[in-house]
Structure 1
Amino acid sequence: MELQFLGSGDAFGSGGRFNTCFYVRDARGAFLIDCGASSMIAIRKFGIDPNTIRAVLITHLHGDHFGGLPFFILDAQLVSRRTAPLIIAGPPGLRDRLTTAMETFFPGSTRVERRFVSEIRELEPRCTHDVEGIAVTPFVVKHPCGAPPFALRLTVDGKTLCYSGDTEWVDGLRDAATGADLFIAETYFFDKQVRFHLDYATLARHLPELGVKRVVLTHMNPGMLARVAETGCEAAEDGMVLTV
């Protein structure tokens, strides 16, 4: 499994980074984890063929994590000329929120016939779902967005990846990450504790109990970016490629 950070930034482009979007290559092709508002720009910048992406997995319904979907779907229809099916999976409420977003940005776009089949799957927490050969287990975390926010635990090609999504520390995050080959963790702040976001100091206290093999920090604000070298952890950069 190979993962490329197409976007490793926060909602506000701190450090000049794109919104969250991870491109994962596996034995069956490729899929995305989150598709923030700037994701089509990042896809073009890094030379990704959108038609290689068979599924998009969404952690939560904030614009910097799912707001790129209307553009991705319209690109598939009008530019990339997609014919292969597309699966979009995420929290309950995804279907209605995506419809609202598409009709807000591009009125009438949800009623136009497409050349490809698209399917929205709303995932039940703490159940393992087969999404196009990806074993996806969502865990509810704590980050208000009008729908249940998820951390995602994924198993593909015999490797396990956990992405925290956005959240303060909760037990569900422990359950999602324990024993993972790769844990991608939001660390919005260095040591400032605020509701609904994770800071590096809190993460560091819990890491020994998780037994993860590799940790990569992401979704950092300017203060965290300025101090990331102090963590001794790997930090995501837009375009960075990892092999798991």
Structure 2
Amino acid sequence: MIKLSFAGTGAAISQGRDWTSILVNDRILIDSGPTTPVNLKKMHKDIRKVDAILLTHYHGDHTFGLPMLLCDYAFVTKRESPLSIMGPKNVEEYVESLVLTAFPDVGRMILDLVPLRFFELPAHGSTFPLHNLKFETFPMCHGGIGCLGYKLIFDEETVGFSGDTEMCQGLTSLIKDTKILVLEMTTVGKRVPGHLNQEDIKEILKTLSPNQKVILTHLSPNEVPKIPEFDSVIFSEDLEEYAF
């Protein structure tokens, strides 16, 4: 069984939704938006169980929860097992600068107290082992910033996460043969560069097989218009869990 726990489902500028973060099987965190640490606790998650954090890209709505999460690990949870943080180029430098900016006086102490392992990931369809499963990376198109999509490969299931992207070949490759797709849909009608809108999702749905499932996240409007083409689509909500 695959369990997806949505600690946040909103875009950077969102009308009432919390910022993006998805916990997979209580152990793998996809992004860590500003509201992630408190929302994981609202969902009664044991953050000590998180083995790895996969960052799609380095925008604040996807990463600004990291300093608070690491602070908790350092002074409250007192984490002892290694935490892997993986992401695009310069992941270690980015996370360290984030923590030192958030906590100029004790940031270095936090980084020393929490046993961290950093992995810089290439974007070109490489496959990596991760805590008894494999995952694959795909290059997404999100303006001038490097952005990765991820496909997690379990024994009988695959789960894909688009991160932030517009339509591109990397997204097409990620979607192919992936059973559960977590896709962003930042806007409904308006087209914003580097993001998907409702029309993009409609086109994607036409290409899918009946056994592929779609969950939409990174939503700007609080209420998303329901249209017939989306009858089989799940619109994620903050603090909700979905099992497959």
TM-score (norm 2): 0.90
Distance 2:135 2:90 in 1: 18
SS in structure 1 of the partner of residue 186 of structure 2: coil
Conserved? CA contact 1:4–1:22, under 8 Å: yes
Conserved? CA contact 1:7–1:238, under 8 Å: yes
Deviation for aligned residue 1:158: 2.8
Distance 1:108 1:121 in 2: 26
Deviations 1:195-219 (A, max 9, x none): 1110121121122324361001111
Task: Choose which of 200, 203, 215 in structure 1 pairs with 2:201.
Answer: 203
Residues 79-94 of structure 1: matches in 2 within 5 Å? 79-94=76-91
Task: Choose which of 96, 101, 106 in structure 1 pairs with 2:98.
Answer: 101
Q: Tell me the amino acid that sits aligned with residue 19 of structure 2.
A: N
Conserved? CA contact 1:161–1:181, under 8 Å: yes
Aligned to 1:12: 13
Deviations 1:72-109 (A, max 9, x none): 11110101111111001111122111111111110144
RMSD: 1.9
Residues 136-147 of structure 1: matches in 2 within 5 Å? 136-144=135-143, 146=145
Give 5+ residue unaligned stretches, structure 1.
none
Distance 2:129 2:182 in 1: 21
Aligned to 1:239: 239
Task: Please identify, of 134-143 and 119-128, the stretch whose mean Cα deviation from structure 2 is larger.
Answer: 134-143
Aligned to 1:213: 212
The change in CA–CA distance for 1:114 and 1:228 in structure 2 (over 3 A counts) is farther
Distance 1:180 1:173 in 2: 11
Residues 34-73 of structure 1: matches in 2 within 5 Å? 34-73=31-70
Aligned residues: 238
Task: Choose which of 139, 152, 155 in structure 2 pairs with 1:154.
Answer: 152
TM-score (norm 1): 0.90
Q: Tell me the amino acid that sits aligned with residue 204 of structure 2.
A: H
The change in CA–CA distance for 1:157 and 1:3 in structure 2 (over 3 A counts) is farther
SS in structure 1 of the partner of residue 51 of structure 2: strand
SS in structure 2 of the partner of residue 51 of structure 1: helix
Deviation for aligned residue 1:194: 2.5
The change in CA–CA distance for 1:145 and 1:88 in structure 2 (over 3 A counts) is farther
Distance 1:239 1:143 in 2: 26
Distance 2:164 2:138 in 1: 12
SS in structure 1 of the partner of residue 225 of structure 2: helix
Conserved? CA contact 2:79–2:115, under 8 Å: no
The change in CA–CA distance for 1:238 and 1:157 in structure 2 (over 3 A counts) is farther
Q: Tell me the amino acid that sits aligned with residue 213 of structure 2.
A: R
The change in CA–CA distance for 1:187 and 1:201 in structure 2 (over 3 A counts) is same
SS in structure 2 of the partner of residue 144 of structure 1: coil
Aligned to 1:130: 129
Q: Tell me the amino acid that sits aligned with residue 177 of structure 1.
A: I
